[in-house]
Chains A and B, each alone.
Chain A
Amino acid sequence: MPVAVVFLLRAVVLILLWGFVVAAVVAVRHDIFGTKPRKVRSPRPAPAPRPAPAPKPAKPPRASRAAPSRVTVIEGPGQGVSVALSSLPVTIGRATDSTIVLDDDFASSKHARLVPNGDAWLLEDVGSTNGTLIGNSKVTAPVAVKVGTRITIGRSTLEIQ
């Protein structure tokens, strides 16, 4: 075959090889670079564009105050982990089958959970050893949480958003 064709094919092989690499990287892009844990130092974080990985609840937006839409670990070992509040209860604890797994020595395996109740969400402690705190008060009975509520479990802090 003509030398030019052979040379062209040789170049195309290398280009395709790297093309495959680039295509594969693009395919998993948001998984490689991750999503930045949002800084939650200010009381009301600016609404950052969300890389929606979890399916969002298909609920009509409320007219008055925003309903809780997700719960995020803002401090502690699992910082940045975030779970959407849809229609299913969210369990929190060290057990690996919890919805939010806390790798925190001061948390119990089954520590607390968030349960939907109409449009509201209730937080209850499910018999943890060290207790669940909202501010400085211990959660003894199910208590409604709002956007901005901080929940302290062991060394971790979770925020309702």
Chain B
Amino acid sequence: MTGILLPVGEKRRSTELALIGFSAVLILVAFTSASAAYSNKFPSGLVEDAIGFIALSLVAHLAVRRFAPYADPVLLPAAIALNGLGLVLIHRLDLSAQKTAHAHSQSAGTAAAPLQLVWTVIGIALFIAVLAVIRDHRRLQSLTYTAMVVGLGLLVLPALLPASHSTVNGARIWIKFGGFSFQPGEIAKIALEVFFAGYLVSKRDVLALAGRRMLGVTLPRARDLGPVLVAWGASLLILTRESDLGSSLLFFGIFIVMLYVATQRRSWLLIGLVLFVLGSLGAAHFVPHVHERVQIWLHPLSPRYITNQSYQLAQGLFGQATGGIFGTGLGQGRPDLVPFANTDFIGSTIAEELGLAGLMAVLVIYLLLVMRGLRAAIGTRDDFGKLLGAGLSFGLALQIFVQIGGVTRLIPLTGLTLPFLSYGGSSLVSNWILLALLMRISDASRQPLPDRPVAPDEHATMVIQR
């Protein structure tokens, strides 16, 4: 951290309000653009939805003024812009679904956008609740092992439940009861990040100092490899038992990076990389559905796969190619041809209708979100906050990379959601909670230095008079 002065003590809430205003205009125009292109009349219900969402943003802003006045001014507006844009895209896909159903004279399924709006309300309510309840992020450190139990419990629960209560579209990552379904992985991610941060803060010294140098890197002792191997084994278990490639990659990546941040030892990255390569090669050979994913990734247009397994990926690629640089315009493409266009493939919906320019803007907004999170981590003065902030931000970044990487065929497709954009309650709610934690850490990092004299040390105090 060379030569960066932190803007300590500036509240900048008005900047936040202005940025929220900007995103409100953006969302209104995007809504209008999508609806105008789709039908000739000004859509009914649009104004109510948009005004409802903007009112929600203002409530969140007021809560930040009250509970985290020094927090970063960009985090909340970025989340609001992404969430709003997600609502626009989901609404736009609803319109297509209605039109298709109408053409085939079937009844359209439930519209997704109103549900997503309900989840947004819940998400923002929880965002405010987390800010109000957790007034100091260091209190989470005392919950280290509780977080571990909760996180691991939520993670393995779908594997233990009977398939009828846990499997949707081949991935065993759900908890289903009655009409209600929930994907616990996203909440588990936050709980495990809290656990990793608390655990590594207490164990960092032994993991950082013991070991001997070899080929320019300090290798850890064999017995200190335990935690890494446990994390590796756990993610392989998720992969094989729950068929969840994305979460498996995400958890292992977050653990390795937090280990590296805690110890500042590059050897952990090296060890992590070796384990990752071994694990992925093994999985690609021996786990059937991973093998299939790799084949689809390598040959999406092959006649063997395109009608069935790689249909979604191939349609997504065609859609993105159609979009070109500036896109077809909202409501003027056919992103609805891609299965699950509003969850897994919302990235390709953006690329098709807003073009490369739109997708890049969305990625830069994510970049700002992640960067502000890491900034908060650097600025915090306690080690737990630093690690937690870094873990939450990096987790977000890795998830976005894996998601967009999958949709654009940079890496094999996994089943993760795009934070704040994708349709899905559990994902949206967890990301709002995650944002609240980042805001809390950011608030702590930008608060002015405590206004009290330093507590006198017993042996060092001298009264000085001249």
Contact = CB atoms under 8 A, between A and B. Distances in A.
Interface of A: 1, 5-7, 9-10, 12-14, 16-21, 23-25, 27-28, 30-32, 34-37, 51, 53-55, 78-82, 88-89, 91, 96-97, 99, 101, 110, 113, 115, 117-118, 122, 124, 126-127, 141-142
Contacts of A81: 1, 3, 5
B457 A127 contact: yes
Given A24-B74, A24-B368, A28-B372, A12 B5 contact: no
Given A1-B40, A82-B5, A122-B464, A23 B364 contact: no
Given A18-B357, A88-B453, A80 B460 contact: no
B70 to A, nearest CB: 13
Contact of B74 (A19, A27, A37, A118): A27
Contact of A27 (B3, B4, B15, B466): B15
A84 B44 CA distance: 57
A89 B3 contact: no
Given A10-B332, A13-B329, A27-B15, 20 more contacts: A1-B37, A6-B33, A6-B37, A6-B329, A9-B36, A17-B357, A20-B361, A23-B22, A25-B368, A36-B3, A53-B7, A54-B9, A79-B2, A82-B5, A88-B449, A96-B382, A101-B381, A110-B457, A117-B466, A126-B460
A10 B37 CA distance: 9
Nearest to B264: A103
B11 to A, nearest CB: 12
Contacts of A122: 464
Interface stretch (B24-32, B51-59, B108-116): B24-32
A21 B368 contact: yes
B26 A17 contact: yes
Interface of B: 1-10, 12, 15, 18-19, 22-23, 25-26, 29-30, 32-33, 36-37, 40, 72-74, 77-78, 81, 326-327, 329-330, 332, 354-355, 357-358, 361-362, 364-365, 368, 371-372, 375, 381-383, 448-449, 451, 453-454, 457, 459-460, 462, 464, 466
Contact of A124 (B5, B364, B368, B462): B462
B74 A30 contact: no
A78 B448 CA distance: 20
A24 B19 contact: yes
Contact of B464 (A19, A99, A142): A142
A151 to B, nearest CB: 17
Contact of A17 (B361, B381, B451, B464): B361
Given A53-B5, A79-B3, A14 B453 contact: no
Q: Max chain B CB contacts within 10 Å: which of A7, A14, A126?
A: A14
Contact of B33 (A10, A24, A55, A113): A10
Contact of B22 (A10, A19, A36): A19
B78 A10 contact: no
Q: In the A-B complex, list the 7 residue pairs whose CB atoms are closest, starting with the nearest.
A: A80-B3, A37-B3, A10-B329, A9-B33, A126-B460, A17-B361, A34-B4
B8 A13 contact: no
Contacts of B329: 6-7, 9-10, 13
Contacts of A127: 457, 459-460
B453 A89 contact: yes
A89 B455 CA distance: 10
Given A20-B19, A24-B77, A34-B3, A55 B9 contact: yes
Contact of A18 (B23, B33, B361): B361
B19 A51 contact: no
Q: Max chain B CB contacts within 10 Å: which of A14, A17, A53, A97?
A: A17
B228 to A, nearest CB: 25
Q: Max chain A CB contacts within 10 Å: which of B3, B6, B26?
A: B3
Given A9-B29, A17-B358, A80 B4 contact: yes
Nearest to A31: B7
B355 to A, nearest CB: 7
Contacts of B332: 6, 10
Contacts of B364: 21
Nearest to A79: B2
B354 A13 contact: yes
Contact of B354 (A14, A27, A78, A79): A14
Contacts of B457: 110, 126-127
A78 B15 contact: no
B73 A28 contact: yes
A153 B303 CA distance: 69
A28 B77 CA distance: 13
A55 B459 contact: no
Contact of A53 (B8, B22, B30, B464): B8
B454 A89 contact: yes
B29 A12 contact: yes
Contacts of B375: 31
10 contacts: A10-B330, A12-B33, A14-B327, A17-B354, A17-B362, A20-B22, A34-B5, A35-B4, A53-B10, A122-B464
Contact of A24 (B36, B78, B355, B464): B78
A157 to B, nearest CB: 14
Contacts of A113: 454
